[in-house]
Every structure is written in structure tokens, then in C-alpha cells.
A and B are shown apart, each in its own frame.
Chain A
């Protein structure tokens, strides 16, 4: 598990979230944890997915075809 620190939260927004968490019988931390889990479980839209893929490609140094084949043969024990 990782921890997240969020800066510059709008105090009015935080107050609303605090009230919502209290109404649900949860701490703000637990409320936000569930909010993140619920959002993460939503499937990405195709354009979001394409953008995520583009971001991952950007600035990466790919394997060469030779490295790729070497790793594959090693994985097969060949």
C-alpha cells in the first residue's frame, strides 16, 4: 500500500467531503480510500486508454528486437 499527500485542497470542498464521510459513518481517510478504489475499478474509455498508452510510450527506451528475442528464448528455457 502507498500513501498520498494532497496539497491545496479547497476547504469548502473538504468540509463537504468530511460531512459526507461522517454521514456514511466513515473517517475522511476511509471515505477517500473507497472513492479511489471505486474510481479505479471503472473501465477506462477508449480515448483515455489511448492517451495512457501514449504517455507510457513517450520517453521510453524500447528493447531492441535482439533483446526481445533473447528474453523470450530465456523465458522458454530455449
Chain B
């Protein structure tokens, strides 16, 4: 599915560089919460066994593909609502969902369990890479 614009969570960002078993997000413009970037650093550190040039190389590709890095602050109210309603979900995932809600954009993700958590947000689950 090709989208004009979408919010990407950590899994979608990492799909861009093949760190996740997912097709990369197909959108002309990607927005992402800045928390997803921090989490991507943590995951890539482990994925590359601490090899700095490999981590930086992936981030150098991911970074320019994101048009806007959004602070969680802009989505604070829906984030708190989601965090209270879904205490078992990681807060970074809920932040992506909350950012999608306030920007009125769909969320692209590799995590099917985010579907339906907020009825106002369209969640596009990236297909598994074959």
C-alpha cells in the first residue's frame, strides 16, 4: 500500500534498513516521534553488536527519510489516555499512535497488536518480508 504521508513507529523505521523482517513503509512523507529514533539507536546497537559505523550508517539512511521528528509533547493528552487504557503496551509504541492521532495520519508499523487500540487511528501493518 502506498500512502501520501504516514507516521512511522520504531519497527517501521528499522524496516527501512532491513533490521526488521518487514517490507519498508511505502509513503511519500514519513513523520516519526523522536522517541522512536532513541529506541532505534538502542535496537541498532544490539543488532550490530555495538559496531558504531554500522549503527551510524543505518541512522544516516533513516534520518533523511523522515520529514518531521515529532516531540511527544504535542501528543501528550492522547498519549496519557492511551497509556492508562493500555498499561501493557510500551510507551514508545503508544507515542507513535498518539502522534498519528493528532496529525490525522495513518500509523505504519510491524506490530499488529497496535491495530484497534485507538479507533480514530488507521494502522497499516507492514507485510512480512519474504
Chain B: how many interface residues by the 8 Å CB criterion? Answer: 27
**In the complex, chain B residues whose CB is within 8 Å of the CB of A44:** 64
Interface stretch, picked from B16-24, B74-82, B99-107, B114-122, is B16-24
Chain A: how many interface residues by the 8 Å CB criterion? Answer: 21
Contact yes or no, B64 A43, CB < 8 A: yes
Where the two chains meet, the residues of B that have a C-beta atom closer than 8 Å to any C-beta of A are: 10-11, 14, 16-22, 24, 39, 42-43, 46-47, 57-58, 61, 64-65, 90-92, 110-111, 129
Apart from A53-B24, A73-B90, 6 more pairs, CB < 8 Å: A49-B65, A57-B16, A68-B110, A71-B43, A75-B39, A76-B90
Where the two chains meet, the residues of A that have a C-beta atom closer than 8 Å to any C-beta of B are: 43-44, 49, 52-53, 56-58, 60, 62-65, 68-69, 71-73, 75-76, 78
